[in-house]
Amino acid sequence: MRKPLIAGNWKMHKTLVEARELVGGIVEGVGKLDARGGVEVLICTPYTLLFPIAKAVAKTPVMFGAQNVHEESQGAFTGEVSVAMLKDTGCTHVIVGHSERRHVFGEKNDRLAKKVRAVVEAGLTAIYCVGETLDEREAGRTREVIESQMGEVIGPDVPADRLVVAYEPVWAIGTGKTASPEQAQEVHEWIRASLAGTYDRATADRVRILYGGSVKPGNAADLLSLPDVDGALVGGACLVASDFIAIISAAVATVPA
């Protein structure tokens, strides 16, 4: 069975003081959950918080990661951060290809392929995000878009044990809308089929596929109970400790005793 992963993407939120308070609440809440070893918990913070968060979560079950990375190892790239710099902080995961990176900052599949490889070659885990816009869904192009985002970025040279895929319907991010369980399961099945084509079915069955898109305490249980949903990439709800813990608790409830 794939171990559920609940990842929080803080985006551009939280000062140091605010972050310490939030992490304290998350660590305390995770510590109180029964069977917490059956679910992995990850927080992805702004670059400025990585070192202090490393100290705050030390000797706890909570992992931490980054929200983006540059594909080159070093160079004249003002304002960018390399994978080696991230690794120095002790983080374990890096989000690559979040819809905001694609649609606000214009990152394309060819660049994201380089980023994924930079992350996994450094021994970190890439959380690679895919998803369609509202126009693409209404045009019936969801599967075409997903298969392009998977096929142009994920190849057999990407170690499957260093890969997590996150499905984020762009129309559901920060809008309050959420894909129905049926819609989410359908796309997760397509993603797993794509992985089976890249690797093999047994390997594809080991890769975790997260759902991201207005995940909240009220809808988490329904989404996390789906056979091909292996956790969540949480946005706004991860900025409130009690909400994030409620989502983690919903994941814990899916783990067999």
Residues 102, 122: Cα–Cα separation, whole Å: 23
Active site includes 28? no
Question: Which of 238, 217, 221 has its CA nearest to residue 229?
Answer: 221
Sign (positive or negative) of CA dihedral 224, 134, 67, 204: positive
Q: Are 94 and 69 in contact (CB under 8 A)?
A: yes
**Which candidate in 70, 93, 98, 188 is catalytic?**
98
Phi, psi torsion values for 140, nearest 5 degrees = 75, 25
Structure tokens at 53: 């968060």
Question: Which of 58, 111, 127, 49 has its CA nearest to residue 86?
Answer: 49
Q: Are 46 and 10 in contact (CB under 8 A)?
A: yes
| Number of neighbours of residue 202 by Cβ within 10 angstroms | 9
Residue partners of 43: CB distance under 8 A and separation at least 6: 7, 8, 10, 23, 26, 53, 57, 62, 63, 64, 65, 238
Question: Which of 1, 2, 13 has its CA nearest to residue 244?
Answer: 13
- Axis crossing angle, helix 142-151 with helix 181-198, rounded to the nearest 10: 30
Active site includes 168? yes
Question: Which of 188, 211, 126 has its CA nearest to residue 160?
Answer: 126
**Which candidate in 70, 71, 168, 188 is catalytic?**
168
* Residues designated as active site: 98, 168
